[in-house]
Amino acid sequence: MTDTSYLFDTGSDLGAAQMDHLAAMLDAATFGMLTPIGIQSGWRCLDVGAGGGSVARWLADQVGPDGEVLAVDLDTAQLHSQPGVDPVAHDINDGLPGHLAGPYDLIHTRLTLMHLPRREEILALLADSLAPGGWLVVGDVTDRPRRVLSAVSAEDLAVWERIQHLSHRVVGPAGGLDVDWAHRIDDRMVAAGLTEIHGIETSQTVTGGSPGMLLHLSLNKQAYHLLVAAGATAAQLERYQELCRDPQLRTWFYQFLCVRGRRPR
Ligand SMILES: C[S@@+](CC[C@H](N)C(=O)[O-])C[C@H]1O[C@@H](n2cnc3c(N)ncnc32)[C@H](O)[C@@H]1O
Single-letter code of the amino acid located at 44: R
Query: What's the pLDDT at 262?
Result: 98
Please indicate whether residue 12, judged by its CB atom, sits closer than 6 Å to ligand 1. Answer: no
Instruction: Provide the domain limits for residue 64.
Output: 13-146+177-205+254-262
Residues 6+ apart with CB under 8 A from 50: 56, 71, 72, 73, 76, 79, 85, 87
Distance, in Å, from the CA atom of 176 to the CA atom of 4, rounded to the nearest integer, reads 9
Residue 264, preceding peptide bond in cis (omega within 30° of 0): no
Cα of 255 vs centre of ligand 1, distance in Å, is 18
| CA distance linking residue 191 with residue 261, whole number of Å | 11
| 58 CA distance to ligand 1 middle (Å) | 17
pLDDT of residue 164: 97
pLDDT value of residue 188:
98
Q: Does residue 222's CB lie within 6 angstroms of at least one atom of ligand 1?
A: no
Q: Which stretches of the chain drop beneath a pLDDT of 70? A: 1-4
Strands 256-262 and 195-202: antiparallel
How many domains is the chain built from?
Answer: 1
Residue 4: per-residue pLDDT: 54
Alpha-carbon distance of 125 to 54, in angstroms, equals 24
CA-to-CA distance for 70 and 80, rounded, in angstroms? 12
* pLDDT (0 to 100) of residue 163: 97
pLDDT in tens, 33-46: 999 999 999 999 99
Query: Is 152 within a domain?
Result: no
CA of 153 to the centre of ligand 1 (A): 36
The per-residue pLDDT for 3 is 57
The domain that holds 52 is classified in CATH as 3.40.50.150
Query: CA angle, 101 as apex, 54 and 115 as ends, to 5°?
Result: 50
Per the domain annotation, does 57 fall within a domain? yes
Contact 226, 152 (CB under 8 A): no
What's the pLDDT score for residue 178?
95
Distance, CA of 20 to CA of 206 (rounded, Å) = 16
- Kindly state whether residue 227 falls inside one of the protein's structural domains: no
Asked if residue 110 belongs to a domain, the reply is: yes
In a domain, 80, yes or no: yes
Q: What is the pLDDT of residue 1?
A: 42
